[in-house]
Amino acid sequence: MSRSLWPGVLSHMPELPEVERARAHIAERALNRRISGIDDADTFVCRPHAPGEISAALVGAVLTQTHRRGKAMWVDTDRGPVLGLHLGMAGRIAIDEEPATRNWDRFTLLFEDSGRLALRDKRRLGRAVLDPDLTALGPDAAEVSRADFRERVGRGAAPLKARIMDQSVIAGVGNLLADETLWRAGLSPLLTAGDLDEEQLDSLRRALRAATRRAIARGGVHTGDLIRHRSRGGSCPSCNEALERAAVGGRTTYWCPLHQPAPW
Ligand SMILES: [Zn+2]
């Protein structure tokens, strides 16, 4: 049976909700299956491992549990080594699907029951790695406590949007989830992160959790209420004001000038 998480190729980068759906897909379909072979020949996707290194560590092992923090996910095995998987800019997890045409399955587990799990990635920017190093990642954006969120997000001179997209501050927020969250919170992306008061920070955290939950339930960050209007000439779905558009923190940003007022 073939079942994919997204029809066609992603038109946007995987963010926390996409990775959470991929993790859930692995949890539902690939746990408790024994690995009988591994194609780890792509030395770019599997860096820093040499071809055969991941295979030597994991062939014969059973996948036992999935985890995720931000956009990083990893799978435990009954052998000890952990398999880290990152979707990169356009990757997805294909389980028990026919092998990809061309060379888009960049890393593949073959199961004893003749099924397979592939990191399918046209752009080849995903990763497969043993025992991934997560020390540079902040706490998960959907799980971070209120006190931790205030402490980590509410500081510094960076624009608020750049601050919430900094993966070392909180992990998992990409460009679309950031715009949706700031719109829901009624906060301008141009605010200085360190200028927010506790009430604003708490409201931002609530908006982030709500936006994340809805994106997971609806199928991805592209389903956000603002995201559908996020194009040139788009207007605010709540008040119909023309959306502002500018680069913030180097990323194209849309916001409503009426209920996300500028800080000056
Ligand atoms: Zn508005």
Q: pLDDT digit string (tens) for 211-237?
A: 999 999 999 999 999 999 999 999 999
Per-residue burial over 207-229, b if 16 or more Cβ lie within 10 Å, else e, is bbbebbebbbeeebbbbbebbeb
Coil/strand/helix, residue 216: helix
Distance (angstroms) between ligand 1 centre and the Cα of 241 equals 6
Distance (angstroms) between ligand 1 centre and the Cα of 242 equals 8
Any residues with CB less than 8 A from the CB of 56 and at least 6 apart, and which?
Answer: none
Task: With a cut of 70, say whether residue 89 has pLDDT above it.
Answer: yes
Distance (angstroms) between ligand 1 centre and the Cα of 258 equals 5
**pLDDT 10s digits, 34-60:** 999 999 999 999 999 999 999 999 999
Distance (angstroms) between ligand 1 centre and the Cα of 58 equals 52
* d(C-alpha 93, C-alpha 74), whole Å: 12
Dihedral of CA atoms 74, 78, 103, 219 in degrees, nearest 10, equals -40
Distance (angstroms) between ligand 1 centre and the Cα of 29 equals 41
Distance (angstroms) between ligand 1 centre and the Cα of 203 equals 17
Distance (angstroms) between ligand 1 centre and the Cα of 226 equals 10
Task: With a cut of 90, say whether residue 262 has pLDDT above it.
Answer: no
Answer positive or negative: Cα dihedral of 7, 13, 17, 18.
positive
With 0.85 as the threshold, say if the pTM is over it.
yes
pLDDT, the chain, mean: 94
* d(C-alpha 241, C-alpha 39), whole Å: 52
DSSP 191: S
